[in-house]
Amino acid sequence: MRSFPGPALAIVDRLRAAAEADPENAIAFQGSPGANSHRAATEARPEALPLPCFSFEDALEAVKDGRAGQAIIPIENSQHGRVADIHFLLPESGLSIVGEYFMPIHHALMGVGKGPYEAAYSHPQALGQSRLFLRKRGIVPLSYADTAGAAAFVSDKGDPTQAAIAPAIAAELYGLEIAETHVEDSPDNMTRFVVLANKPTFLTIPPESSAVTTFIFEVKNIPAALYKAMGGFATNGVNMTKLESYQQGATFSATMFYADIIGAPGDPAVDRALEECAFHSKELRILGTYEQGRPRGQR
C-alpha cells in the first residue's frame, strides 16, 4: 500500500480503513484513487467499498486472503487490445469470474501547469490509447503503474514540463491543471472489466439477458487439433465471441487459448461443445460463468 505516490497516500489510507471494517463488502482494484478501475469499481458495484491496490496481483491477492470480497480488473480495450499479462494472472489466481462491466474511457492531459510538456506519464494502456495524440504534439510517453498514480506522481514531482494522462477527476484529486480533455485517439474507446470472487456464482439469468462462460484450454500438439476442438461449438450452435492465444512456458510446443462463449454449462449444447473441446485438449478449465454485461456486437 505504501508504494503509492505521496499525494495519493491519504486517500488510500482512508479507503483502506473503510474496507478493513467491512472486508466482505470491499472490492479491490488496481491503481491509485481516481483511476479508471476506481471508477469502474464504484459504477459496477456502487454498494461496495473500493480498495485501491498497487498492482493487479495485489488486487487479486486481496480477495484470496479475505481483505476484499471481490476484485475488478480490466481485461481488454477496444482500441489497445488485451491488458498485458491478464491471461496469465486470471488462471493463476484461482478466483472465479462472476461478472463483467463495460466502461467508456476518456483521458485528459494534465500537469502542474498547462504546458508545453516534454513527456507524459500514464499506464501503458492509456499511452497506447493516446498514441497519435502524443506523437502529434511531440510528447514522449513514459510508463507508470496506473493513470491516477501518474497524476499523483506528476503533482508530487512539480516539474511543469511533465504531464500525466489520466481521468479528469485525477486532476481535481491531486491539484493539477487540465490542458486538454478527450485525448484518446478514438471517441468510442471502451474497456471491458471482469469481476472476480473466491467462489463461482450460481446464475439466475433474466429472460432478456444471456450468460457468458470464460475458459482456457491447451490443445494437443497434433495436426488439426484446434480445428477439431472448435468443431463442437459450430455443430452445436454455440457462439464463441472471443478466442485469443498465448504461450505458456518456453517450450513453444503448444499454445494456450482463452475463450468466451455465450451460454452456460448445464445447457446441453454448451455441454456437448465443451466436452468435444476437452477431448481434443490436454487441459480445459472454466474460469467463470456470469451474466452478460452487454450484448456482443452492440456499439
As a whole number of angstroms, the distance between CA 211 and CA 214 comes to 10
Distance CA 60, CA 81 (A): 21
Cα 100 to Cα 194: distance, rounded to the nearest angstrom: 4
d(C-alpha 94, C-alpha 116), whole Å: 46
Expressed in angstroms, the distance from the first to the final Cα of the chain is 37
Judge contact between 121 and 153, C-beta under 8 A.
yes
Q: What residues does 285 pair with on adjacent strands?
A: 216
Q: Are 226 and 287 in contact (CB under 8 A)?
A: no
Q: Report residue 43 as a C-alpha cell.
A: 459504477
Provide the 8-state DSSP code for 211.
Answer: E
- List 262's β-bridge partners, or say none: 212
State the Cα–Cα distance between residues 133 and 138, nearest whole angstrom.
9
- Catalytic positions are 191, 193
Q: Which distant-in-sequence residues (6+ apart) come within 8 Å of 125 by Cβ?
A: 74, 77, 80, 83, 84, 191
144's grid cell: 507508470
In 3D, which of 192, 197, 203 has the Cα closest to residue 294? 192
Alpha-carbon gap, residue 98 to 72, rounded angstroms: 10
